[in-house]
Structures are given as C-alpha cells and as structure tokens.
C-alpha cells in the first residue's frame, strides 16, 4: 500500500512488510486521536461557551466510567504497541543460523566492504536475493551508522566494537544506503548502493573477484607474520592455549569466571590480552592494540573461527566446551 506513495522507499527485505505494518498502525492510532481530540475541542468550544454575561458553570466531581475508559484504552493501546514492536525488534536482533557473513568497515568518509570470498568493494554492497545476510560491522575512526531504507534496517557502527545486523533481500534491484550518524565534514556523501541479485548472478559476480585474499586466508598469513603461531601452537604444547575449537565455546578465566568466546572476546583477547586471562596461563601475550587495522582483526578472527573444525587438543586447559556442533 505505502509503496505506491510518492517518495516511499521500496520494500526489498523480509523486514519491510512487518516494519511498515507496525508503522501504519502507529500512524493510524495517532491520527485517530489527533482528529478526535481536535474535533472534541472545537465541538466543546461552541457547546459550552458562555451564553450570558452572568452565567456560572457547575462544579464537576469526576466520572468513574470516563476515567476508567481513559486509563484502560491507552493502557491497552500502548501495551499493544510495545508487544508488536518487541516482536519485530527481537526478530531483527536475532540473526538466523547459517547466514552469509559480509564485513563492513566504516571510515571517514567511505564504506569498505568485504565479501566472504575476499572480494572487496567500496561504497557498494552486492547481496543475493532470498539469502539471510549478516553484516559484521566495525569502524576505523568515529561512530557511523549503516542504513538501508529499502530494507528497513539500520545499525550504529562503533569504533572498538562489532555490531551485526541481518536481513533477507526479497526483491532484485539497486537501493541506496546511507551513513545516518553525523561523522564529520563529508558525512552527507558517505553512502552507496546495495545491489540485490539473483543467486546465480551473485555467484558469477563473486567469482569475477579482484583477487585479494579471503579474510580466512589473510588471517592465516597474519597469524604467521605476527608470530601468533610461535605461542599458539595447534596441539596445545606452546606457551599459550591452542586456539582450536575456542571460537563459540566457553573459556574459563584465571579469576574463576567463564566467558563465551564470541567475536568481541576474540577481539579483546588480541588487542588487550590482559583484560581476560585464560585459566592456567601467564599473561605474557603482547597487546596488539593500535598495531592491527580493523581489516586485520576481522581476518584473524575469521581464521580463528575456522580452527573450529580442527581437533581439540586434550591439553587445552582453558577450554570448557567448544563451539563445535
Ligand atoms: Cu559516517
């Protein structure tokens, strides 16, 4: 319905219909009360106007039925808004399993995007239709925000932190995306185009790659170049815990607490190792804060993720459970 209105963005993702339905409900409720209250004001203005110079009004002592009505109706309406909003929001915040993960890095004033096979794009994002896509987003400098109106999704992109958001494109075409967090002089031009393609076209486009390493391959190289491999030995015999099977699992820390090894934990472990020490190990890992770009951290994480499929060494003291399914 709204899609026919001028200036209304296309409905091009799984979220568009549900967000628009909720939005329509909110607008209709607001419109109803705005019109009804204005009409009542105008009506009472004439009906209860003072008709003679010495007219005095009756004192009014309230009316239980009226008061119950204006408590119950708004309470019911606002609970409905909350409940409905929560359903849409929870769906947006919980990415399904088996998503196509694409890395997005915001930087004054451009978007650098990397496809799962390593193909890079700038201010462009190609996605296949009908596939659940998850964007893993980080910033090189200040807070940005990735916003695709046609998909009805947006999410802040924060330095020192990963934010993710997911969507399933439902309609082929080219749609605009924007940075929607003011981020400096050229904020206004920090945007680009999402291209939603048929899966076969997307596969063909991907394979016409510009030939950079995939994050996984780049991560594996970095792991050697940055000498991570000298401490983190696969069979757990090094001075550091083996990273096999760590990702997605639960890690026991030296202070007795446990933590889930997600992207944020891996990131922190690399940048500021002293923040959380794995039980049974000395805090001798150097901090890599300021020494790795966001790209490189993402690549290292992708590599550590891939180590999940390797055998878990019996000596991996810190590992309680693994993310292996
Ligand atoms: Cu920005």
- Find the 44 Cα to ligand 1 centroid distance in Å: 51
**136/76 same-domain check:** no
104 & 88 share domain: no
* Domain identity same for 242 and 156: no
Tell me which long-range contacts 179-183 makes (C-beta under 8 A, separation of at least 24). Answer: 179/106, 179/109, 179/111, 179/144, 179/145, 179/146, 179/147, 180/145, 180/146, 180/147, 180/154, 181/143, 181/144, 181/145, 181/156, 181/157, 183/106, 183/108, 183/109, 183/141, 183/142, 183/143, 183/144
Share of the chain above pLDDT 90, in %: 50
Q: What is the mean pLDDT of residues 194-203?
A: 92
What's the order of all strands across the beta sheet hosting 133-139?
A: 120-122, 110-114, 100-107, 133-139, 163-167
- What separation in Å is there between the alpha carbon of 110 and the centre of ligand 1? 7
Percent pLDDT > 70 in the chain is: 91
Task: Indicate the residue among 164, 182, 207 that finishes a domain.
Answer: 207
- Whether residue 285 is found in the same domain as residue 305: yes
Compute the distance between CA of residue 197 and CA of residue 134 in angstroms, rounded to an integer.
16
Out of 207, 242, 275, a domain closes at: 207
pLDDT, residue 324, reads 43
CATH code where residue 87 lies: 1.10.287.90
Cα of 247 from ligand 1 centre, angstroms: 30
Q: Distance from the CA of 289 to the center of ligand 1, in angstroms?
A: 23
Q: Is the pLDDT of residue 43 over 50?
A: yes
What pLDDT, in 10s, does the model give residues 262-278? 888 999 999 999 899 99
Q: How confident is the model at residue 320 (pLDDT cuts 50, 70, 90)?
A: very low
Q: How far, in Å, from the CA of 106 to the mean position of ligand 1?
A: 7
pLDDT(196) > 50: yes
DSSP codes of every residue in 111-152: EEEE-TTS-EEESEEEEETTS-EEEEEEESSS-EEEEEGGGT
- CB distance 181 to 143 below 8 Å: yes
| Gap from CA of 14 to ligand 1 centroid (Å) | 25
Whether 14 and 62 share a structural domain: yes
**110 pLDDT above the threshold of 50:** yes
Which CATH number does the domain housing residue 127 bear?
Answer: 2.60.40.420
Domain range for 248: 215-321
Q: Is 149 exposed, middle or buried (0-12, 13-18, 19+ CB in 10 A)?
A: middle
C-alpha of residue 180 to centroid of ligand 1, in Å: 7
pLDDT class for 150, splitting at 50, 70, 90? very high
User: Which two tokens mark 128?
Assistant: 């296949």
Whether residue 170 sits in one domain with residue 139: yes
pLDDT of residue 136: 93
pLDDT in tens, 277-288: 998 888 889 898
Q: How far apart are CA 236 and CA 193, in angstroms?
A: 46
Number of domains in the chain: 3
Contact 167, 133 (CB under 8 A): yes
Give the span between the Cα atoms of 12 and 152, in whole angstroms: 8
Say how far apart CA 315 and CA 324 lie, in whole Å. 17
Instruction: Kindly report the CATH number assigned to the domain that includes residue 252.
Output: 1.10.760.10
Separation of CA 306 and ligand 1 centre (Å) = 31
* 304 and 219 both lie in a single domain: yes
Given a contact cutoff of 8 angstroms between Cβ atoms, the answer to whether 190 and 122 are in contact is no
Q: What is the mean pLDDT of residues 254-264?
A: 89
Q: Are 86 and 165 members of one domain?
A: no
Whether the per-residue pLDDT at 55 is higher than 80: the answer is yes
On whether both 168 and 234 belong to a single domain, the answer is: no
Pair 222, 316 in one domain: yes
Last residue within a domain, chosen from 93, 114, 148: 93
Q: Which of 231, 258, 254 is nearest to 321 (CA)?
A: 258
- Same domain? For 231 and 296 the reply is yes
* E strand spans, 168-235: 173-179, 191-197
State the pairing for strand pair 173-179/110-114.
Answer: unpaired
C-alpha of residue 243 to centroid of ligand 1, in Å: 35
Q: Does 83 lie in the same domain as 35?
A: yes
* β-bridge pairing 250-252 and 258-260: antiparallel
Of 278, 241, 236, nearest to 257 (Cα)? Answer: 278
């Amino acid at each position: 319905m709204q899609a026919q209105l001028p200036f209304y963005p296309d409905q091009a993702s799984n979220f568009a219909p549900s967000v628009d339905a909720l939005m329509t409900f909110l607008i209709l409720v607001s419109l109803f009360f705005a019109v009804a209250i204005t009409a009542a004001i105008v009506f009472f203005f004439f009906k209860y106007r003072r008709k003679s110079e010495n007219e005095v009004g009756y004192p009014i002592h309230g009316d239980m039925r009226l008061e119950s009505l204006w408590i119950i109706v708004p309470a019911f309406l606002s609970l409905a808004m909350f409940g409905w909003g929560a359903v849409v929001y929870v769906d947006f915040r919980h990415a399904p399993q088996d998503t196509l993960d694409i890395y997005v890095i915001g930087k004054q004033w451009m978007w650098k995007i990397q496809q799962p096979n390593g193909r890079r794009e700038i201010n462009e994002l190609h996605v296949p239709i009908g596939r659940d896509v998850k964007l893993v987003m980080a910033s090189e400098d200040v807070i940005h925000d990735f916003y695709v109106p046609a998909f009805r999704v947006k999410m802040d992109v924060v330095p020192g932190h990963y934010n993710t958001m997911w969507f399933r494109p439902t309609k082929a075409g080219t749609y605009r995306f924007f940075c929607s967090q003011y981020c400096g002089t050229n904020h206004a031009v920090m945007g680009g185009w999402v291209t939603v393609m048929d899966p076969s076209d997307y596969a063909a486009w991907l394979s016409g790659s510009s030939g950079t390493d995939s994050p996984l391959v780049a991560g594996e190289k970095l792991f050697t170049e940055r000498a991570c491999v000298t401490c983190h030995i696969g069979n757990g015999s090094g001075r550091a815990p083996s990273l096999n099977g760590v990702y997605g699992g639960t890690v026991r820390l030296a202070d007795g607490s446990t933590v889930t090894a997600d992207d944020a934990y891996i990131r922190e472990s690399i940048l500021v190792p002293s923040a959380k020490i794995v039980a049974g190990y000395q805090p001798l890992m150097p901090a890599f804060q300021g020494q790795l770009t966001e790209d490189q951290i993402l690549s290292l994480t992708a590599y550590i993720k891939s180590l999940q499929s390797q055998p878990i060494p019996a000596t991996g003291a810190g590992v309680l459970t693994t993310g292996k399914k």
